[in-house]
């Protein structure tokens, strides 16, 4: 049984609270970067702005261009109590939404509430239509675009999820263009226009995919995940142009680097469905963990992730369990910044 083979306690590590980055650096590309070279062995410490010199001319960076939507809304129930909503996705009639709701008391159908837009007195009325076994709910929101009432849905480990004006710009990659995520593909947060220009000058190529990060990214792995060998489903799009560029890069003998675990999941999911990489759209619940092989990527650019998380298991699958855990211990010792607004790791 998979849950007998993988012990999540083996993927735990000590992280002082002060190592969790609460704000982004003033300059994106000045984040630190730990380099792991699987072929040569060993680790070295760089800055993210060194990336053009760490890649070869003709190498390909594949990026997730999903953008974060202002999906967190706040307001009050008709009884006066506070309510906080995270919209997950909309339904066909555009007024019904699946969501996570945080409030005091038991969630039940029939609860009504009013949401207030920050900065003015506009209000949006709504109600809970249904509560699912998963803890998610189905909401009815009346009339207006709910995202115009929303704020950046920061993860709970950043300022307890309370966003500030800086987050509207910085909790978003500079190349984001397709709305749909409730969390940022954080490896991409380190890129800025200056670095993009330097990468192009160095002959490094880029290609795009879409994976809309869903609420499951915040949830811990369960025994059921391990047993069923699947994760939460997320919507993706692998375009034809990216498939062609990956194929051309392979022919030239150059390397494919996934920018982030989200990009990795798209590429590896599609590679498992077909003998060759073909353009696809759909949903993926692929759970990559130690023991799994990689069919597309040669390198992974990623942030430092939570203990016992599916993201950490993916990194361990690519870099090796012992190497990954040793790298995390070294990152703590060297005072790297962790999680969404933290530093990064390049695994070659």
For residues 121 and 257, membership in a common domain is answered with no
Residue 3 has pLDDT above 50, yes or no: no
Domain end marker among 119, 149, 179: 149
For residues 182 and 222, membership in a common domain is answered with yes
Percentage of residues of the chain with pLDDT beyond 90:
82
For residues 255 and 343, membership in a common domain is answered with yes
Count of structural domains within the chain: 2
Between CA 107 and CA 97 the distance in angstroms is 16
Residue 2 has pLDDT above 50, yes or no: no
Q: What is the CATH number of the domain that holds 120?
A: 2.40.10
Give the mean pLDDT of 116-121.
76
For residues 188 and 103, membership in a common domain is answered with no
Q: Band the pLDDT of 77: cuts 50, 70, 90.
A: very high
Between CA 330 and CA 36 the distance in angstroms is 12
Residues 254-268 pLDDT 10s: 999 999 999 999 999
Q: What's the mean per-residue pLDDT of the chain?
A: 92
Residue-range definition of the domain harbouring residue 205: 2-68+165-347
Q: In this structure, what token pair is assigned to residue 225?
A: 């995940």
For residues 333 and 317, membership in a common domain is answered with yes
Name the residue among 124, 89, 129 with its Cα closest to residue 108: 129
Residues 119-144 pLDDT 10s: 677 899 999 999 998 889 999 998 78
For residues 139 and 177, membership in a common domain is answered with no
Residue 339 has a pLDDT of 97
Residue 90 has a pLDDT of 66
Q: How many residues does the chain have?
A: 348
Instruction: For CA atoms 262, 268, 271, 273, give the dihedral sign.
Output: negative
> Does residue 157 lie in a domain region?
no
> Does residue 159 lie in a domain region?
no
For residues 133 and 11, membership in a common domain is answered with no
Domain end marker among 103, 119, 149: 149
Q: What is the CATH number of the domain that holds 342?
A: 3.40.1780.10
- Min mean pLDDT across 55-69, 79-93, 158-172, 273-287 is at 79-93
For residues 257 and 280, membership in a common domain is answered with yes
CB-based contact 279:240 (threshold 8 Å): yes
- Upper half-sphere CA count for residue 22 (Cβ side, 13 Å): 6
Name the residue among 270, 290, 274, 292 with its Cα closest to residue 282: 270
- Min mean pLDDT across 88-92, 116-120, 128-132, 165-169 is at 88-92
> Does residue 158 lie in a domain region?
no
Domain end marker among 114, 149, 184: 149
Residue 1 has a pLDDT of 38
For residues 60 and 79, membership in a common domain is answered with no
For residues 79 and 62, membership in a common domain is answered with no
Name the residue among 213, 207, 217, 216 with its Cα closest to residue 238: 207
Report which secondary-structure segment, H or E, holds 302. strand 299-303
Residue 222 has pLDDT above 90, yes or no: no
Name the residue among 348, 328, 347, 323 with its Cα closest to residue 338: 328
Share in percent of the chain as helix, strand, coil (round to 5): 30, 30, 40
């Amino acid at each position: 049984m998979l849950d007998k083979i993988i012990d999540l306690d083996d993927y735990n590590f000590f992280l002082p609270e002060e190592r969790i980055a609460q704000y982004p650096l003033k300059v994106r590309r000045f984040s630190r970067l730990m380099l792991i070279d699987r072929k040569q062995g060993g680790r070295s410490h760089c800055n993210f702005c060194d990336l053009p010199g760490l890649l070869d001319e003709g190498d390909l960076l594949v990026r997730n261009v999903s953008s974060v939507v202002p999906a967190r809304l706040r307001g009050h129930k008709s009884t006066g109590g506070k309510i906080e909503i995270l919209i997950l996705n909309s339904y066909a009639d555009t007024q019904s939404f699946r969501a996570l709701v945080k409030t005091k008391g038991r969630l039940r159908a029939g609860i009504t509430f009013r949401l207030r837009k920050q900065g003015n007195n506009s209000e949006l009325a709504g109600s809970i239509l249904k509560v699912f076994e998963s803890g998610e709910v189905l909401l009815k929101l009346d009339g207006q675009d709910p995202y115009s009432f929303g704020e950046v849905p920061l993860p709970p480990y950043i300022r307890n999820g309370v966003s500030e004006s800086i987050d509207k710009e910085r909790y978003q990659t500079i190349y984001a263009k397709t709305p749909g995520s409730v969390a940022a593909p954080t490896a991409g947060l380190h890129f800025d226009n200056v670095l993009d220009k330097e990468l192009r000058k160095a002959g490094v190529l880029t290609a795009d995919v879409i994976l809309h990060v869903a609420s499951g990214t915040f949830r811990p792995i369960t025994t059921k995940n391990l047993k069923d060998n699947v994760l939460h489903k997320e919507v993706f799009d692998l375009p034809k142009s990216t498939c062609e560029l990956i194929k051309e890069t392979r022919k030239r003998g150059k390397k494919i680097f996934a920018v982030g675990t989200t990009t990795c999941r798209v590429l590896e999911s599609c590679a498992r469905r077909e003998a060759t990489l073909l353009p696809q759209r759909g949903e993926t619940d692929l759970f990559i963990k130690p023991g799994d092989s990689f069919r597309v990527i040669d390198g992974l650019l990623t942030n430092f992730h939570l203990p016992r998380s599916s993201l950490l298991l993916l990194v361990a699958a690519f870099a090796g369990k012992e190497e990954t855990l040793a790298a995390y211990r070294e990152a703590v010792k060297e005072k790297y910044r962790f999680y969404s607004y933290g530093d990064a790791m390049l695994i070659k």
